[in-house]
Copies of this chain bind each other. A is one copy, B any other.
């Protein structure tokens, strides 16, 4: 038994690559995204009443992570990469079915000449172009469980201090600055990296951000136009 599903939309975000994407949706609330429906699903009726909801669920595809074979256990970055946990006890991409689940805030519904009616969202942890299979309203009375405990995750996640000199910050479009600062504070290095000398590069929107991390401080060393 199998089910074949088709993307109804794609999300447009400031992350052209996987690198730097926050580990969970909603962690960086400033992140802006735009859900653009596939031509076949560009039907405004589907969205009637959606503007009354503040939060939405997205079910999407780990399109960059599809492996031919999933693994029963993974090593979550939060545990330092040394402990194996069952894949179903994590939100890891390397699952039997490569489905992702993210809660985003609905910031607006906008009609555009070129893209039809789009959903403007905040807090999306998705790579630009990620295929979306379903959008559902968030229903607090069944979906919200602040009392839920989180197994091994309770060890916590440490944030970085961000040192972004004003003259470099000015090179980032004003509307993107808060989101960028928050992404950096969430430690955008790949898992298990800890080389204080290394200069990392991360694409964010129309800019390339270079940084170094040492002693819990992320120092931005350059803001560049990306090499085309």
Contacts and interface: CB of A to CB of B under 8 A. Distances in A.
A2 interface: yes
Where chain A touches its partner, the secondary structure class is mixed
Contacts of A81: none
A195 interface: no
Interface in A91-119: 91, 95-99, 101, 103
B89 A133 contact: no
A99 B133 contact: yes
Contact of A133 (B7, B47, B97): B97
A1 B48 CA distance: 26
Given A144-B144, A145-B55, A86 B48 contact: yes
A134 interface: yes
Contact of A150 (B5, B26, B53, B95): B53
Nearest to A95: B134
Contacts of A67: none
A88 interface: yes
B152 A148 contact: no
Contacts of A133: 3, 96-97, 99
A25 B139 CA distance: 11
Contact of A148 (B45, B46, B138): B138
Interface of A: 1-8, 24-27, 41, 43-55, 57, 59, 61, 72-73, 84-91, 95-99, 101, 103, 131, 133-153
Leading 9 A-B pairs by shortest Cβ distance: A52-B151, A48-B86, A45-B72, A50-B89, A49-B89, A26-B142, A55-B148, A5-B97, A49-B85
9 contacts: A3-B131, A25-B142, A26-B143, A59-B97, A59-B99, A99-B134, A138-B150, A140-B145, A143-B143
